[in-house]
Chains A and B, each alone.
Chain A
Amino acid sequence: MIKLINISFQYDNASTETLKNINLELETGEVLAVVGPSGGGKSTLLRVIAGLEKPKVGEIFLGEKCLCKKGTFVNPEKRGIGMLFQDYALFPHMTVAKNIEYGLIGMNTTERKKRVKEVLGLVNLVEYEKRYPHELSGGQQQRIALARAIAATPKILLLDEPFSNLDTHLLQSVREELFGIIREIGITTIMVTHNPEDATTQADRVIEIVEGIASEKNWTKNNKGFI
């Protein structure tokens, strides 16, 4: 589904590479957890895959499509990748429905309305479409952000520490719900997490990134090997 070949990345103002020669391949529907110490480069990896940063060398393929190699670079808006931001990045001046509609390009109004209902149903927040983001609880905001990210049926979903902004008492239910939804729609997912439990119980595979170097962990049962 997605394939990274020899990806290296360096921030303009940094002296060393933040990502060093990363290779990774995921099958359709697989859920990958990315763990590692703070500053290791986990968020950077997601940003590179999303196209928000441009790798120094290396290639990225999504399905058959080449997103990035020497001389080609597909801009983030053309990639069809969904991302759930850590602080959700919901547009504060738009209602929930407008937020979700935002990414539904090339649909007519009735199609759009239908799709908004669908994804809101998926995250169990159908009655909330007229609310503004600041009128929602943290957990609800997160679910709306998820709905927005998956509304246009992206091929892959990126999550950067999806639970770090939530209160502990919410954590268990939100986590189960989020993974339930991911499994239900069968979307290929890469998730950065600090929680080893997420990694072992929810993911199909786990990689660890330390100082920009990735290594596969044998923490889960159905490990399929690392290329």
Chain B
Amino acid sequence: MFARFKERGLSPLFVIVTLIIVAIVLPSVFIFIRLFHPVTESWLHIKEYVLADYIHNSLVLVAGVSVITGILGTFFAWSLSKYQWRFGLLLESLLFLPMAIPPYIAGYVYGGIFTPFGTLDRILNQVGKEPIRVDILSKGGAIFVFSLFLTPDVFLVTKVFFEKLPKNIEESSRLLGRNQSATFFRVILPMSRGALVGGIVLVMLEVLNDYGLVRYFGIPTFSTAIYQTWFGMSDVDGAVRLAASLMSIVIIILLMEQFFRGRGRLSQARAISDGGIKKRASKVYKVVFYVLTFVYLSLALILPITQLVWWSSIAKQTNVMRRFGSILFNTISVGVIVTILVVVCGILIGNLNRLNPSILSKIYARIVILGYSVPASIIAIGVLVTFISVDRSLSGLYGILDLKNLFLTSSKFILIFALTIRFMAIGFNSIESGFSKMGKKHYEASKLLGRDEWYTFRYVDFPILKPAIISAAIFAFVDVLKELPLTLILRPFNFDTLATRVFTYAGDEMIHEASVYSLIIIGVSIVALILLSFIRKGTRI
């Protein structure tokens, strides 16, 4: 093994990628080391009285949201990929759009609609009806809001799968005497288990990742507890232990995913599309579909956006404009820097995997992808612990250079670092799929025509890969724009982005002002989604 490495020579690419991977893994290592610190008083307290609560709440949310998004997402995906609908294409695009509304924004919108003297009360009052009490700030309410806005995640994954499903599978089941619904439940659904589970796991991780919505709704979960323990009680080791407990839940979810995916997966090669001839739906099915779609789109798109627009229109100009320029600048500059880093790392790691595939490079890729399953609160704690110990060990140097204590920890660098490792997987995924679509042949042809690596990358690989790189960049930028928990924990003093501004204003009962910022985030996300769908249609490698 070692001799072979030497013989091949450690390529610079390999060394750089290894460093990137070390940076990704380091925070987890630091969390792990901290676990061996002596147990503190407050951790004992947490363990005794509240840990069970956190676990219970997190699991209830995860379970509820998975079931609802699983059913809704699969229903929409199946209906739209197999049946004809009037305005099918439009409906399809609209069903993706709730993705552009982050749950923490939706949370305060729904909070504002249902609170006493909120929008609902006022409307009922206008028409002279008794107010209806809905306790939205509850677990049930949180499940409702999460489900509305995470359904597109499942919809997206299952739809791609259903469209690739060969038609003859369905037809042979029908010829074997099974009716439509039996075919769906006995053949199609088991076959698509992998895709469905993949989509649901994404949703689960999203729920565990959230901080803004559960905080606003006052539901104690891991993410709020970690934040509380660190900042409220200054108990680092307690926070680290909470992070480790949350990580075990994530690991259990990932193991369950492996288990439920099963072996009988449809291989990509066999999954040939059938030219997309869609059937006509029965009357009943039509009614169910149109009603569900209408209700869903009203709740997940029309209602929140209308409410936000209305609130924005009555927002106080002075509050909205306070430090607006610097917030915009912060958001864009952090977004651009992280996007560039994510794309560059994605290209490096993807290229290593393409040119020198080895067990190690596969493990690297796996680590990057797994990075996305780590909830933000864990990354935040890991990165904080890491940076603080780096700062401590550099304190002598800081003294000489006349820098303040904890120089790195209190800088923008820590935020950029954390966001980059959090979103690396997103960039890597689209770049990797671009690389694997394009393969090695153009690279090899270029080498045989006498061009070196750099020239080949610049004039062959890069242009062919451009659509994948652009999608990776759009994904990464929008995700940074929407990101709340990491930014909230790791931002330097007095540093605000659009997302943190939404969160603080909404928390301070300034929901009208928060709405302006929310609409900017949502608007940019919608434009990005539209751009992405154009890119996807336009690429043919």
Contact = CB atoms under 8 A, between A and B. Distances in A.
Interface of A: 12, 50-52, 75-83, 85, 87, 89, 91-93, 102-103, 105, 148-149, 152
Interface residues of B, number: 17
26 contacts: A12-B358, A52-B448, A75-B447, A76-B444, A77-B450, A77-B451, A77-B452, A79-B448, A80-B450, A83-B445, A89-B442, A89-B444, A91-B445, A91-B446, A91-B460, A92-B464, A92-B541, A102-B446, A102-B449, A102-B451, A102-B459, A103-B449, A103-B450, A103-B451, A105-B450, A148-B449
A77 B460 contact: no
Nearest to A134: B540
Contact of B447 (A77, A105, A149): A77
A67 B441 CA distance: 22
Nearest to A52: B444
B463 interface: yes
Contacts of B452: 77
A152 B450 contact: yes
Interface in B415-450: 441-442, 444-450
B464 to A, nearest CB: 6
Contact of B445 (A51, A78, A89, A152): A89
B447 A82 contact: no
A93 B452 CA distance: 19
Given A89-B442, A93-B464, 15 more contacts: A52-B448, A76-B447, A76-B448, A77-B446, A77-B452, A82-B448, A85-B441, A91-B446, A92-B541, A93-B463, A103-B449, A103-B451, A105-B450, A152-B449, A152-B450
Contacts of A51: 447
Contacts of A85: 441, 444-445
Nearest to B445: A89
Contacts of A149: 448-449
Contacts of B541: 92
A147 to B, nearest CB: 12
Interface of B: 358, 441-442, 444-452, 459-460, 463-464, 541
Contacts of B442: 89, 91
A52 B447 contact: yes
A78 B450 contact: yes
Contacts of B463: 93
B358 A105 contact: no
A91 B439 CA distance: 12
B501 to A, nearest CB: 42
B88 to A, nearest CB: 30
Nearest to A103: B449
A91 B541 CA distance: 10
B463 to A, nearest CB: 5
A148 B441 CA distance: 15
A85 B463 CA distance: 21
A77 to B, nearest CB: 5
A50 B448 contact: yes
Nearest to B438: A92
Nearest to B443: A89
B448 A83 contact: yes
Contacts of B464: 91-93
Nearest to B440: A52
A77 B445 CA distance: 9
A92 B446 CA distance: 13
Nearest to A105: B450
A80 B441 CA distance: 18
Contacts of A102: 446, 449, 451, 459
Contacts of A148: 449
Nearest to B4: A12
A130 B99 CA distance: 43
B448 A77 contact: yes
B467 to A, nearest CB: 11
Nearest to B446: A102
Contacts of A152: 449-450
- Highest count of chain B CB atoms <10 Å: which of A51, A85, A91, A105: A91
Nearest to B8: A54
A93 B446 CA distance: 13
A105 B445 CA distance: 15
Contacts of A80: 450
Contacts of A82: 448
A50 B541 CA distance: 25
Contacts of A76: 444, 447-448
A93 B464 CA distance: 7
A137 to B, nearest CB: 18
A90 to B, nearest CB: 8
A102 B447 CA distance: 11
